[in-house]
Amino acid sequence: EAQVTQNPRYLITVTGKKLTVTCSQNMNHEYMSWYRQDPGLGLRQIYYSMNVEVTDKGDVPEGYKVSRKEKRNFPLILESPSPNQTSLYFCATKRGYSYEQYFGPGTRLTVT
Amino acid sequence: KNEVEQSPQNLTAQEGEFITINCSYSVGISALHWLQQHPGGGIVSLFMLSSGKKKHGRLIATINIQEKHSSLHITASHPRDSAVYICAVTGTASKLTFGTGTRLQVTL
């Protein structure tokens, strides 16, 4: 079954404590992306990756890091989380430029 | 002004009604997407289109490239259609830009 998995699904943490949200896909897709969703602002792209070892900034990359060492995994790293990073995060993948995106189930992060 | 605007923001309909959600965009695009987000939060891609019209079951999506406008229609609406519907466009470098969504509630 085609899947995009995210872990953890829910996380409450404190300001400054480094965390990683993992994203994994089993569809051999080249393109992966991270989004955050906030009320009234909709979904905004944080980072994306066109292929292994190729990553680029989206609209709101400040405070986040990513890496793409393997095709299937695209972790999102918050080195020093702050309360304004409290949000619902989605990972998404697609086969290439002109294809539909498949979204993970979401990770709800609260930073206190 | 947002690059992708949706209307209405909220919509309540009775079961069986024909529903239209509109999306206008202001940038050059290679494709437009309609997504559905249920109350649990998961996002599903409904359509991706770059011209004309697509139909899937009771859902129809149209796009007018010259007018930079797309519509999502739901025929014979049902309470299970209650969700947030999101329009998004693919611009340069495969970047997706999203509208803020239309919250649809279908009542019995």
User: Exposed, middle or buried by CB within 10 Å (0-12, 13-18, 19+), for A110?
Assistant: middle
B27 touching A (Cβ < 8 Å): no
The partner residue sitting opposite A42, judged by closest CB among B41, B94, B100, is: B100
**Which amino acid type is present at position A46?**
I
Gap between the Cα atoms of A44 and A41, Å rounded = 8
Q: What pLDDT, in 10s, does the model give residues A86-105?
A: 999 999 998 876 678 899 99
The answer to whether A59 touches B103, Cβ cutoff 8 Å, is no
| Residue B67, C-beta contacts closer than 8 angstroms, at least 6 positions apart | none
3-state helix, strand, coil in chain B (%, to 5): 5, 60, 35
In whole angstroms, how large is the CA radius of gyration of chain B?
A: 13
Q: Is A8's Cβ below 8 Å from some Cβ in B?
A: no
Searching chain A, which residue's CA lies closest to the CA of residue B31?
A: A98
pLDDT in tens, B6-63: 999 999 999 999 999 999 999 888 899 999 999 877 999 999 999 999 999 999 999 9
Q: Which of residues 76-95 of A touch B (CB under 8 A)?
A: 88, 90, 92
